[in-house]
């Protein structure tokens, strides 16, 4: 079976809670060739963790990856290394990372640097708490380091889009 995109919300997931390894293995071993996995739709069915992402990214060369919201709350920043060590790192051209506090701008920059085909990105983040005196915060509510990572990320993606002769397709949203 070949699909242009694998959106798990089309699958009938049981009402009972399955472990992520089981679900990810079923998807990866279902002889599907998929260009994308949308994990937003897993909200009520399963909590997605780093192991689940590893199973998917190691068994499917994904072009698109959607991560975010409640079902991905246990993801850690190590998930970036998981993706970078997988075949997906060479095929990923679009990533959507929404409302995941563990994935900081520096992590997204590492992901972009390690995924040479990545030209399209949607990323949302919460500004740091300005009451934290140990972090130097700019006017945007982001730390100076995060601002620098975002500027480098924009430069990298803009350069890739220019080289590929495609319009820029990325956005970073601050959640307030």
Strands 6-7 and 36-38: what pairing? parallel
Higher model confidence: residue 163 or residue 42? Answer: 163
> 27-56 burial, b for 16+ CB within 10 Å, e for fewer?
bbeeeeebbbbbbbbbeebbbbbbebbbbb
Distance CA 104, CA 6 (A): 27
Distance CA 14, CA 142 (A): 41
> Among residues of the chain, what percentage have pLDDT more than 90?
35
Question: Does position 110 have pLDDT exceeding 80, yes or no?
Answer: yes
Decide: helix, strand or coil at residue 109.
helix
pTM listed for this prediction? 0.76
Distance CA 27, CA 56 (A): 8
Reported confidence tier of residue 129, pLDDT bands at 50, 70, 90: very low
Write down the mean pLDDT value for the chain: 75
> Among residues of the chain, what percentage have pLDDT more than 70?
62
Higher model confidence: residue 15 or residue 173? Answer: 173
Query: pLDDT value at position 157?
Result: 94
Half-sphere exposure of 52 (CA within 13 A, CB side): 24
Decide: helix, strand or coil at residue 96.
strand
Helices (H), the chain: 20-28, 50-59, 78-84, 88-91, 105-114, 144-163
What end-to-end distance do the CA atoms of the chain give, in Å?
Answer: 43
Cα angle 150-124-90, degrees, rounded to a multiple of 5:
70
């Amino acid at each position: 079976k070949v699909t242009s995109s694998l959106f798990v919300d089309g699958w009938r997931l049981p009402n009972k809670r399955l472990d992520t390894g089981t679900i990810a293995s079923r998807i990866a071993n279902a002889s599907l060739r998929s260009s994308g996995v949308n994990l937003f739709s897993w909200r009520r069915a399963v909590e997605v963790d780093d192991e689940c992402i590893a199973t998917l990214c190691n068994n499917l060369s994904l072009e698109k990856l959607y991560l975010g919201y409640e079902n991905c709350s246990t993801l850690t920043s190590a998930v970036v290394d998981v993706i970078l060590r997988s075949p997906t790192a060479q095929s990923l051209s679009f990533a959507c990372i929404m409302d995941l506090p563990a994935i900081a701008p520096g992590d997204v920059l590492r992901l972009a640097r390690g995924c040479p085909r990545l030209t399209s990105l949607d990323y949302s983040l919460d500004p740091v708490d300005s009451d934290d005196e140990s972090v130097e915060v700019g006017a945007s509510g982001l730390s100076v380091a995060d601002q620098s990572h975002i500027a480098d990320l924009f430069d990298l993606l803009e350069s890739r889009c220019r080289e590929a002769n495609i319009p820029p397709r990325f956005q970073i949203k601050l959640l307030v």
